[in-house]
Amino acid sequence: MNHRRLGLPGHPCREARAAFSLPELLIAVAVLGILAALALPSGQGALARMRVEAASRSLMLEIERGRDRALRDGRPLLLPLEGEAGLLAEAEATHAALEVHHNLPEALRFTANGLLIDAGTVVVASPATPLRRCLVLALPLGVLRLGQYASEPAAGLSSEHCRPDPTL
């Protein structure tokens, strides 16, 4: 049988040579495994950083929504932080493996004209990233400021350690 006349490429032995041998496949799998192992820690760090960013921005947004609600309704508002319905408990539950430290009361109080009566600092961190995002609620006007915390939260929180972050 003439292979050229049927349009088949070359000799049947050449087709077998076009495949990969078992040692070649094992080497390729090993190289891919090494590359995946190198990429995994950096991917986990990036994911942890995104969780910290998302949780801190979500907290800030919810506090602003509370301020807007008090203004819209024209009456004082109490926004719980602790407990099942609290903002901080929700942030920890929504974003796995986060640590939330704060020196705020159990609930934030807003006046009828939207001023925040309570002050304090919230720090959101994750063991998988060095990023510690801070949210400062400052009196007398209840100004919110988001930054990067430059100290260990376990040592005690202070708004002085919340530095401006040029990436924000």
Please choose, from the candidates 55, 33, 41, the residue with its C-alpha nearest in 3D space to the C-alpha of residue 133.
Answer: 55
Dihedral of CA 150/127/87/167: which sign?
positive
Predicted confidence band of residue 77 (pLDDT cuts 50, 70, 90): very high
Domains plus CATH for the chain? 8-163 (3.55.40)
Q: How high is the pLDDT of residue 9?
A: 55
Q: Which helix (H) or strand (E) holds 90?
A: helix 87-94
Residue 5, pLDDT > 60, answer no
Structure tokens belonging to residue 87 = 């903002």
| pTM score | 0.70
